[in-house]
Amino acid sequence: MNRPLSVGRQAQFYAVLSIVTSIVIIGLKTLAFWVTGSVGLLSDAVESIANLVAAGVALWALTLAHRPPDATHPFGHSKAEYFSSALEGILILVAAGGIAVTAGGRLFHPEPLEQLGLGLGLNFISTVINGLVAWILLRASRRLRSITLRADAHHLLTDVWTSVGIWIGIVLVHFTGWLILDPLVALVVAANITWTGIRLVRETGSGLLDAALPKDMQTTIELILSQYRQQGIAFHAIRTRVAGSRGFVSFHALVPGNWTVQQGHDLCEAIEQAVVRALPGISVMIHLEPLEDPASWQDESLDRNVD
């Protein structure tokens, strides 16, 4: 079952919102670094540039992912989202490395900070904008089941935590006079966002390897099938997988051998509609078999992957 086209347009809107936000944030943070000379604020601006590149790729991936199936891609293009999430994770790691290198130099050659009030004010405005947009993207990613929007939101959230860490470092420098605190805090922030990048790359790899649907969705499918088991229908070889914002489930349905083709067809239609109503966007594939066929029960190991 194809996802509605409006879902694709919604996802693209959020990607454009992320691009516009990144441009504004880069301007504010670059200005904050220019007036203060803080390596912490410079690291913050560098990460925002990575955000902009990632947001552009996210827009491309979402546009491709929501194209309808065609002759060469009969299951759709939804896995295109993993290109974006992988790049997001890699860019986060690159940004963390850049921050660490810059901060490492300042450890041995500390420099005084200037106009801290103005710099922190500009950084505060950019952080509030980032936090708000990240919250909007996270909500949208859950509603649209988009790994691209979720990755983009986490990227913006790393930016927020980077900014919070930078504030702490600059405030401590202001009150203690210890210039070395500025690069030290930048290094801590780099370590934190490195972990976020690693998680995104791992999640992308899991998706590309056709990971099963989340446990809650598997449970929903099992509850639907259990209603039919009570009517004497059996199921086995239950498999699920995720492909970007789309999900797939396939299984064998075992019915009495004396059923007509129409009865079997009606059963499959009813099951498919029940699954799609509960989990919109899921594609259901059912193989019909007779209960009386011994071969249908030979491989019990395929009985289900819904635990």
Question: Is residue 54 within 8 Å of 94, Cβ to Cβ?
Answer: no
Domain with CATH 3.30.70.1350 in the chain: 215-302
CATH 1.10.645.10 fits 5-208, yes or no: no
pLDDT tens per residue across span 113-128? 556 667 677 778 888 8
Angle between helices 39-65 and 116-144 (to 10 degrees): 20
Task: Give strand pairing partners of 282.
Answer: 247
For residue 129, give both structure tokens: 């904008």
Domain with CATH 1.20.1510.10 in the chain: 5-208
For residue 102, give both structure tokens: 């810059």
Question: Is residue 236 within 8 Å of 296, Cβ to Cβ?
Answer: yes
**What is d(CA 137, CA 45) in angstroms, rounded to the nearest whole number?**
21
pLDDT at residue 302, as a whole number: 44
pLDDT at residue 305, as a whole number: 46
pLDDT at residue 47, as a whole number: 67
**What is d(CA 49, CA 224) in angstroms, rounded to the nearest whole number?**
47
Q: Is the pTM above the cut of 0.75?
A: no
Task: Give strand pairing partners of 246.
Answer: 243
pLDDT at residue 18, as a whole number: 83
Question: Is residue 273 within 8 Å of 224, Cβ to Cβ?
Answer: no
Q: Which amino acid is at 125?
A: I
Task: Give strand pairing partners of 168.
Answer: none
pLDDT at residue 300, as a whole number: 45
pLDDT at residue 198, as a whole number: 83
Show pLDDT as tens, one digit a residue, over the chain (307 residues).
Answer: 444 445 667 777 887 888 888 888 888 878 877 777 666 666 667 667 777 777 777 777 777 766 777 777 777 666 677 777 777 778 778 777 877 777 776 667 666 655 666 767 777 888 888 889 889 988 888 777 777 787 778 778 877 877 777 777 777 776 777 777 777 777 777 777 787 778 778 777 766 777 788 888 899 999 999 999 988 899 988 898 877 667 889 999 999 988 999 999 999 999 999 998 888 878 899 998 888 765 555 554 444 444 4
CATH 3.30.70.1350 fits 215-302, yes or no: yes
Backbone angles phi, psi at 287, to 5 degrees: -110, 120
